[in-house]
Amino acid sequence: MLSRVADSLYWLSRNVERAENNARLIAVKLTSRLENANPIEENNQNWYELIEIGGYEQIFNENYDRCDDRSVVEFLMFSMKNPNSILNAITVARENARAVREIIPNELWESINSFYLKLMSFSKSVWAMDEVNEFCETVKKESLFFQGIVEATMPRGDAYLFMDMGKHLERAEKTARILDVFYHKDLDQYQNKEIVEYHHWWSVLQSVSGHEAYIKMYRPLIKAKDVAEFFILNIDFPRSMIYCIQKVRNAFVALEEGEVEHYSESLAKELEYLANDLIDFTIEEVLYQDAHAFLQSFQRRCSTVGHYITRTYYLGEVAIP
């Protein structure tokens, strides 16, 4: 497979995943606003969380003088100044898909193309805040449809594996990021801390569609530590960090047919380190020092893995010696 093609497939699936994650976060924020026990305390500062999760503080502050629901939604969904807005992510995904149209199933191309056309027409319309929730649903559904086509129609060869690697690396990083931001939110300021805390973690679980699975496992008792365990170490939950990292590893092993060659050594090692941080540890051990430090280092490791993937398979502008 051409390395340019591998690159496009990898970023195609990363970008679709990224768009879906954005939509999930916005949707949860919208619902929690409606359901919150203390609507008055849900101020605009809470919308700013979404900017923090993405790490977009600087670009956002440069382009908007106000931080309210509309400006944040606009920024996360449609702003072309935000390199990771849903519209930008899907525009890039579509360009990537177009560049590999002859490799991917035609249905997959059509789905991403329709996705883009819908997004474009919504972004150009005069949208109202109460349409946003439904639109987030559309984005989620389009992404799930996209993944469904990948799962149901693509042969498990290199093309599939590069996409799978991209998707799960993106997901692992996003899960860590969401947890990181919410874990550190200071809830002591609230008078009815218990209720607020419940809603707080409930939203976090919803944002990864994990609320139902969580309840089956921990019953409806929501504690920060349990949520962290669920997010980080639950080997069965498809958005947990450990699950996603195992998937990236499996894809790598399949690509290399189980061998570790000279050129793939650094990637193999890095993936091993990353997994070793998680496997065979309890949540107490993982969070022993500091949750924030752990989650930060996990995100850095993910981006190192991304870097090694690029180097190993000559993605992007990497030259072949």
Residues near other proteins (CB under 8 A) are 1-4, 6, 95, 98-99, 101-103, 106, 109-110, 113-114, 117, 158, 162, 313-315, 320
Which residue's CB is nearer to other proteins, number 117 or number 235?
Answer: 117
Q: How far is the CB of 131 from other proteins (least distance, A)?
A: 23
Angle at 292 between CA 247 and CA 302, to 5 degrees: 30
DSSP designation for 190? S
Which residue's CB is nearer to other proteins, number 162 or number 182?
Answer: 162
DSSP designation for 263? G
Q: Could you give the CA distance from residue 109 to residue 114 in angstroms, rounded to a whole number? A: 9
Element (H, E) at 52: helix 44-54
Q: How far is the CB of 162 from other proteins (least distance, A)?
A: 8
Which residue's CB is nearer to other proteins, number 47 or number 116?
Answer: 116
Which candidate, 106, 111, 113, 115, places its Cα nearest to that of 154? Answer: 106
Q: Cβ distance 177 to 244 under 8 Å?
A: no
Which residue's CB is nearer to other proteins, number 281 or number 314?
Answer: 314
Which residue's CB is nearer to other proteins, number 56 or number 109?
Answer: 109
Q: How far is the CB of 259 from other proteins (least distance, A)?
A: 12
Q: How far is the CB of 38 from other proteins (least distance, A)?
A: 46
The one-letter code for the residue type at 88 is N
CA distances from 267 to 117, 156, 248, 271, 310 (A): 37, 21, 11, 6, 10
Which candidate, 139, 92, 136, places its Cα nearest to that of 115? Answer: 139
Q: How far is the CB of 49 from other proteins (least distance, A)?
A: 35
